[in-house]
Amino acid sequence: MTPSILPQKLWRPIAEVKAFVEKMPNGVKSSVLKNKVGAYSSLSTKERNLLLKHLNERESILVYEAVAIGGKNATTFLRHKKYGFPKDIPGYVYPIPKRDTLSIKKTPELQQKTEEVKMSDTKQTPEALRKQAEALLKAAEAAEMEARDNDNFNKKLNPVKLEVLQAVSAIQRKFDDLMDCIGVLEKAAQKLKELSA
Protein backbone atom coordinates (compact mmCIF):
# COMPACT_ATOMS: atom_id res chain seq x y z
CA MET A 1 0.00 0.00 0.00
CA THR A 2 1.36 3.42 -0.96
CA PRO A 3 0.58 6.62 0.95
CA SER A 4 -1.16 8.05 -2.12
CA ILE A 5 -4.02 5.51 -1.92
CA LEU A 6 -4.38 5.68 1.87
CA PRO A 7 -7.75 7.25 2.74
CA GLN A 8 -7.37 10.88 3.76
CA LYS A 9 -9.39 10.12 6.89
CA LEU A 10 -6.44 8.07 8.23
CA TRP A 11 -3.72 10.71 7.79
CA ARG A 12 -4.40 12.47 11.10
CA PRO A 13 -4.82 9.24 13.15
CA ILE A 14 -1.54 7.93 11.70
CA ALA A 15 0.32 11.10 12.70
CA GLU A 16 -1.17 11.03 16.22
CA VAL A 17 -0.47 7.31 16.72
CA LYS A 18 3.14 7.74 15.55
CA ALA A 19 3.68 10.66 17.93
CA PHE A 20 2.16 8.72 20.85
CA VAL A 21 4.04 5.46 20.21
CA GLU A 22 7.38 7.26 19.82
CA LYS A 23 7.10 8.34 23.46
CA MET A 24 6.66 4.72 24.61
CA PRO A 25 10.06 2.94 24.61
CA ASN A 26 8.46 -0.24 26.00
CA GLY A 27 5.75 -0.29 23.35
CA VAL A 28 2.00 0.06 23.80
CA LYS A 29 -1.04 -2.18 23.32
CA SER A 30 -3.36 -1.21 20.47
CA SER A 31 -6.26 -1.22 22.96
CA VAL A 32 -4.55 1.60 24.89
CA LEU A 33 -4.56 3.72 21.74
CA LYS A 34 -8.38 3.69 21.80
CA ASN A 35 -8.32 5.49 25.15
CA LYS A 36 -5.32 7.75 24.60
CA VAL A 37 -5.47 8.77 20.93
CA GLY A 38 -8.76 10.44 20.03
CA ALA A 39 -8.37 10.26 16.25
CA TYR A 40 -7.66 6.51 16.50
CA SER A 41 -10.63 5.75 18.76
CA SER A 42 -13.03 7.37 16.28
CA LEU A 43 -12.11 4.85 13.55
CA SER A 44 -13.99 1.66 12.73
CA THR A 45 -12.35 -1.74 13.29
CA LYS A 46 -11.70 -2.05 9.54
CA GLU A 47 -10.08 1.40 9.44
CA ARG A 48 -7.92 0.58 12.49
CA ASN A 49 -6.71 -2.62 10.85
CA LEU A 50 -5.87 -0.68 7.68
CA LEU A 51 -4.02 1.92 9.74
CA LEU A 52 -2.00 -0.75 11.61
CA LYS A 53 -1.10 -2.46 8.33
CA HIS A 54 0.08 0.83 6.87
CA LEU A 55 2.12 1.67 9.98
CA ASN A 56 3.81 -1.71 9.88
CA GLU A 57 4.58 -1.62 6.15
CA ARG A 58 5.32 2.04 5.46
CA GLU A 59 6.00 3.91 8.68
CA SER A 60 8.59 3.83 11.48
CA ILE A 61 6.36 1.70 13.71
CA LEU A 62 6.71 -2.01 14.53
CA VAL A 63 3.43 -3.93 14.88
CA TYR A 64 3.68 -7.33 16.57
CA GLU A 65 1.59 -9.75 18.65
CA ALA A 66 1.91 -11.55 21.99
CA VAL A 67 -0.38 -13.83 23.98
CA ALA A 68 -1.14 -13.20 27.66
CA ILE A 69 0.16 -15.99 29.88
CA GLY A 70 -2.74 -18.40 30.31
CA GLY A 71 -4.68 -16.65 27.55
CA LYS A 72 -5.59 -17.76 24.04
CA ASN A 73 -6.11 -14.61 21.97
CA ALA A 74 -3.20 -12.56 20.62
CA THR A 75 -2.77 -8.92 21.69
CA THR A 76 -1.41 -6.38 19.19
CA PHE A 77 1.46 -4.13 20.32
CA LEU A 78 3.09 -1.11 18.67
CA ARG A 79 6.64 0.12 19.21
CA HIS A 80 8.81 2.68 17.43
CA LYS A 81 11.50 1.14 15.21
CA LYS A 82 14.26 3.09 16.93
CA TYR A 83 13.67 0.92 20.01
CA GLY A 84 13.67 -2.34 18.00
CA PHE A 85 11.63 -5.45 18.79
CA PRO A 86 11.37 -6.32 22.51
CA LYS A 87 13.30 -9.27 23.92
CA ASP A 88 10.31 -10.21 26.06
CA ILE A 89 7.03 -8.75 27.35
CA PRO A 90 6.25 -9.25 31.07
CA GLY A 91 3.02 -11.19 31.52
CA TYR A 92 2.96 -12.30 27.88
CA VAL A 93 4.32 -15.12 25.75
CA TYR A 94 6.56 -13.44 23.18
CA PRO A 95 7.50 -14.22 20.55
CA ILE A 96 4.52 -16.49 19.92
CA PRO A 97 5.89 -20.00 19.23
CA LYS A 98 5.08 -21.55 15.89
CA ARG A 99 2.55 -24.35 16.02
CA ASP A 100 4.64 -26.67 13.86
CA THR A 101 7.73 -27.48 15.87
CA LEU A 102 10.92 -28.63 14.20
CA SER A 103 10.76 -32.04 15.82
CA ILE A 104 7.40 -32.77 14.18
CA LYS A 105 7.66 -30.77 10.98
CA LYS A 106 11.28 -31.53 10.07
CA THR A 107 11.83 -35.07 11.25
CA PRO A 108 9.22 -37.45 9.84
CA GLU A 109 11.90 -40.14 9.97
CA LEU A 110 12.08 -39.83 13.77
CA GLN A 111 8.28 -40.02 14.01
CA GLN A 112 8.24 -43.07 11.75
CA LYS A 113 10.93 -44.84 13.79
CA THR A 114 9.03 -44.13 17.02
CA GLU A 115 5.89 -45.68 15.56
CA GLU A 116 7.90 -48.71 14.41
CA VAL A 117 9.18 -49.28 17.95
CA LYS A 118 5.67 -48.97 19.42
CA MET A 119 4.22 -51.37 16.85
CA SER A 120 7.08 -53.85 16.96
CA ASP A 121 6.69 -57.28 18.40
CA THR A 122 7.74 -57.44 22.06
CA LYS A 123 9.38 -60.80 21.35
CA GLN A 124 12.05 -59.22 19.12
CA THR A 125 15.66 -60.12 19.79
CA PRO A 126 17.89 -57.80 21.82
CA GLU A 127 19.95 -57.20 18.66
CA ALA A 128 16.90 -55.97 16.72
CA LEU A 129 15.84 -53.71 19.60
CA ARG A 130 19.37 -52.27 19.82
CA LYS A 131 19.32 -51.42 16.08
CA GLN A 132 15.96 -49.68 16.46
CA ALA A 133 17.29 -47.68 19.39
CA GLU A 134 20.37 -46.64 17.36
CA ALA A 135 18.15 -45.52 14.47
CA LEU A 136 16.07 -43.42 16.88
CA LEU A 137 19.20 -41.81 18.33
CA LYS A 138 20.54 -40.91 14.87
CA ALA A 139 17.21 -39.35 13.84
CA ALA A 140 17.07 -37.38 17.11
CA GLU A 141 20.64 -36.10 16.63
CA ALA A 142 19.83 -35.00 13.07
CA ALA A 143 16.76 -33.10 14.31
CA GLU A 144 18.80 -31.47 17.07
CA MET A 145 21.53 -30.35 14.65
CA GLU A 146 18.96 -28.88 12.26
CA ALA A 147 17.29 -26.94 15.07
CA ARG A 148 20.69 -25.68 16.29
CA ASP A 149 21.62 -24.52 12.77
CA ASN A 150 18.36 -22.55 12.53
CA ASP A 151 18.98 -20.96 15.95
CA ASN A 152 22.51 -19.93 14.91
CA PHE A 153 21.20 -18.37 11.70
CA ASN A 154 18.52 -16.44 13.60
CA LYS A 155 21.10 -15.17 16.12
CA LYS A 156 23.20 -13.82 13.24
CA LEU A 157 20.18 -12.43 11.40
CA ASN A 158 18.60 -10.51 14.30
CA PRO A 159 21.42 -7.92 14.76
CA VAL A 160 21.50 -7.25 11.01
CA LYS A 161 17.72 -6.91 10.95
CA LEU A 162 17.90 -4.43 13.85
CA GLU A 163 20.53 -2.33 12.00
CA VAL A 164 18.30 -2.19 8.92
CA LEU A 165 15.27 -1.18 11.01
CA GLN A 166 17.27 1.53 12.78
CA ALA A 167 18.53 2.87 9.44
CA VAL A 168 14.97 2.92 8.07
CA SER A 169 13.84 4.68 11.23
CA ALA A 170 16.56 7.33 10.83
CA ILE A 171 15.51 7.88 7.21
CA GLN A 172 11.88 8.20 8.29
CA ARG A 173 12.79 10.82 10.91
CA LYS A 174 14.73 12.82 8.32
CA PHE A 175 11.80 12.54 5.92
CA ASP A 176 9.40 13.74 8.65
CA ASP A 177 11.72 16.69 9.35
CA LEU A 178 11.82 17.52 5.65
CA MET A 179 8.02 17.44 5.43
CA ASP A 180 7.80 19.75 8.46
CA CYS A 181 10.24 22.20 6.82
CA ILE A 182 8.24 22.11 3.59
CA GLY A 183 5.11 22.91 5.60
CA VAL A 184 6.81 25.92 7.23
CA LEU A 185 8.09 27.06 3.82
CA GLU A 186 4.63 26.80 2.28
CA LYS A 187 3.14 28.91 5.11
CA ALA A 188 5.85 31.55 4.65
CA ALA A 189 5.25 31.57 0.89
CA GLN A 190 1.51 32.03 1.47
CA LYS A 191 2.14 34.97 3.82
CA LEU A 192 4.48 36.51 1.25
CA LYS A 193 1.86 36.10 -1.43
CA GLU A 194 -0.75 37.77 0.80
CA LEU A 195 1.60 40.73 1.45
CA SER A 196 2.27 41.27 -2.23
CA ALA A 197 -1.40 40.98 -3.20
Query: Could you say which DSSP state residue 122 is in?
Result: T
* Residue of 87, 76, 83 whose CA lies nearest to 165: 83
CATH class of 1-97: mainly alpha
pLDDT at 74: 92
Statement: residue 34 has pLDDT above 70? yes
**pLDDT exceeding 90 applies to what percent of the chain?**
33
Residues 6+ apart with CB under 8 A from 102: 143, 146, 147, 150
Return the amino acid letter for 9.
Answer: K
Q: Would you say residue 1 has pLDDT above 80?
A: no
Residue 81 belongs to what H/E stretch?
none
The SS3 of residue 63 is strand
Q: Is the pLDDT of residue 100 over 70?
A: no
Work out the average pLDDT over 108-134: 60
Q: What is the pLDDT of residue 26?
A: 92
User: Range with the lowest mean pLDDT among 70-74, 92-96, 171-175?
Assistant: 171-175
Q: The pTM is what?
A: 0.48
The per-residue pLDDT for 99 is: 55
The reported pLDDT for the residue numbered 108 is 53
Q: Would you state the pLDDT for residue 111? A: 55
